Amino acid sequence: MLAYIGLGSNLKDPKAQIKRALASLSNNDGAKLINVSSFYESKPLLEIPGPNYLNAVCKIETKLSAIDLLDLCQEIEESQQRVREVKWGSRTIDLDILLYGEQVISNKRLSIPHPEAINRAFVLVPLFEIEPSIKFPLLGSIKDLLERIDKLDVNKL
Ligand code: ROI
């Protein structure tokens, strides 16, 4: 299965945090890293106070089910001392499954396509960089999705 994961960090050397998470993904037997976008800097969403974020998107090929992939993402977050303090708070690392093949998944732990992805330039811009012709199940082409949002606020490193 092909899947896309969004990575974000705004604490403790964000670039190193994202690189470490990518290394963990590629070192896992269940996942093969196929492509990684550039890194993009942006202000915290909703003007929440805190350091700027660094974001990237990667494409993987995986044998894992969506739930097992979620477990892997959460293990990586924990291994990088992610602390869940407040909702929307700063974080050392965040891994979101954006797309899992063309599947639509909705249960207590997982919503795919990621429900907020389509509103966020820091997700759509790097995804478009590595997969300009991808379609979101139910939601349409990334090109059309990108036209609806403000892209000025993400800067490629
Ligand atoms: N803001 C930006 N710019 N990048 C993120 O990855 C990010 N992640 C989040 C919240 C707190 C919503 N804001 C963000 O989870």
Q: What is the distance between the alpha carbons of residues 156 and 89, in angstroms, rounded to a whole number?
A: 23
Domain span at residue 87 reads 2-156
Domain total of the chain: 1
**pTM score > 0.75 for this model?**
yes
Task: Find where tokens 């470490």 sit.
Answer: 20
Residue-wise pLDDT for 45-100, tens only, equals 888 889 999 999 999 999 999 999 999 999 999 998 876 666 677 788 999 999 99
Of all protein residues, whose CA lies closest to atom 3 belonging to ligand 1? 44
Residue type at 3 in one-letter notation: A
Pocket test for ligand 1, best of 122, 123, 157 (most atoms within 8 A of CB): 122
Q: Which of 94, 120, 148, 150 is catalytic?
A: 94
Spacing, Cα 54 to ligand 1 middle (Å): 9
Ligand 1 close to Cβ of residue 92 (< 6 A): no
Task: Report the residue among 46, 55, 155 best suited for mutation to probe ligand 1: largest number of ligand atoms under 8 A from its CB.
Answer: 55
Distance 8 CA to ligand 1 centre (A): 7
Find the CATH number of the domain harbouring 116: 3.30.70.560
Alpha carbon distances (Å) from 30 to 24, 137, 149: 11, 24, 34
* Letter string b/e over residues 32-56, b meaning 16 or more CB atoms within 10 A of that residue's CB: ebeebbebbbbbbeeeeeeeebbbb
- Lowest mean pLDDT across 5-9, 74-78, 86-90, 108-112: 86-90
pLDDT value, residue 145 = 95
Per-residue confidence at 36, pLDDT binned at 50, 70, 90? very high
Residue 152 pLDDT greater than 90, yes or no = no
**What whole-number distance in Å separates Cα of residue 76 and Cα of residue 47?**
27
User: At residue 11, what is the residue type?
Assistant: L
- pLDDT, mean over the chain: 93
In the chain, DSSP assigns E strands to 2-9, 31-36, 40-42, 53-62, 94-100, 105-106, 111-112, 135-136, 140-141, 154-156
Whether cis (ω within 30° of 0) applies to the bond prior to 44 is no
From 153, 137, 76, select the one nearest 104 (Cα to Cα): 137
